[in-house]
Structure 1
Amino acid sequence: MVAPAPERRIQDMALSIPPAPTPFGSYVETKEIGSLLYLSGMLPVVGHVPLYSGVVGRDLSTAEGYDAARTACLSGLAAARLHLGSLDRVRSIAKLGVYIAAAEDFRDHPKVADGASDLLSAVFGRENAPPRIVLGVLNIPLGMPIEVELVFEIEPYRN
């Protein structure tokens, strides 16, 4: 049995993908090079409005960090969909990076990053789970708690 395509999975889950984010500075959200689509760092925003701010383990719980990572990843899916026309063009996820503004004594980084990983597995299938790096950092632009980095391997566009 063939697994459903990402767009079908999104529909089946009744998952709402927000509008694609717009840059907060002088950069572009996506860059296609060969068969790879690189995304700028994705923040937990909808439109241009931050949904979370603060430091995980101090201002935000692990569960709130998980949701912030999921939200940032949704922004990444929105940016990729806008660029590609359809997430069905994604062959695989080449890289996931999750950067967490975390309190000095915070230790649950993997649980927070699972917010992004679990979403990607739901959309693209567990068999397409990406390699990832998870880092705690001092701060993230605009005081947000999470920044997600994504690189997708994509199908070439066909007329």
Structure 2
Amino acid sequence: MTGLVIENERGSWILPEPPRPAGRYQEVTRSGRLLATSGHGPGAEPGVPQRGVVGADVSLEDGRVAAASTMLAVLASLHDELGSLDEIAQVMHVQVFVRCAADFERHPAVADAASEVLVGVLGAVRGAHSRTAVGVGSLPFGIPVEIHLTAMTR
């Protein structure tokens, strides 16, 4: 699925190859119509920070780039599981973890980049979601952003 292009009246996005689990878990689980993703990190596309601390060695803007890339990875996993993003009826909740400096307070600005991708790809109705954005001192593999979400299928 490398390079799957999603185009609509709101823009164009390229979904990366869906990530594979780095341990004994699944990237997406289902129970009835409920979907939950595991935590995802940024994709490997050029210009996306793979490691670092937002507010220290990763700028706010680069943190936003990482968050947008991470949401595309989440969407790639959902597409891989469902066969089509059209099967998503509603995103319910998004959790964004930002690996950041102790004095960093712009977590929502980083998370907004992920929300913007989600609403851009799925639309204002299906992509509307509640959200938690928190700062943490460490994330797996040193990534700057980790995201997971819950959604309902049609």
- Contact 1:43–1:75 under 8 Å retained in 2: yes
- Alpha-carbon offset, residue 116 of structure 1: 0.6
In 2, the alpha carbon distance for the partners of 1:145 and 1:51 equals: 7
Q: Does 1:132 align with 2:128?
A: no
Partner residue, 2:113: 115
Partner residue, 1:40: 38
- Contact 1:43–1:148 under 8 Å retained in 2: yes
Q: How many residues are matched?
A: 145
Q: Identity of counterpart residues, as a percentage?
A: 37
TM-score, with normalisation over the residues of structure 1?
0.86
- Contact 1:37–1:152 under 8 Å retained in 2: yes
Q: Does 1:148 align with 2:147?
A: yes
Larger radius of gyration: 1
**Cα distance change, pair 36–46 in 1 and its aligned pair in 2 (3 A):** farther
- Alpha-carbon offset, residue 51 of structure 1: 4.4
**SS of structure 2 residue aligned to 1:11:** strand
- Alpha-carbon offset, residue 115 of structure 1: 1.2
Determine which structure has the larger helix proportion and give its number: 1
Q: Which runs of 5+ in 2 are unaligned?
A: none
- Contact 1:21–1:46 under 8 Å retained in 2: no
Determine which structure has the larger strand proportion and give its number: 2
Q: Which runs of 5+ in 1 are unaligned?
A: 1-8
Which amino acid is the alignment partner of residue 144 of structure 2?
P
- Contact 2:13–2:121 under 8 Å retained in 1: no
Correspondence list, 1:48-67, <5 A: 51-67=49-65
Task: Judge which range, 125-134 or 59-68, deviates more.
Answer: 125-134
In 2, the alpha carbon distance for the partners of 1:40 and 1:60 equals: 24
CA RMSD in angstroms, aligned pairs only: 1.6
Partner residue, 2:24: 26
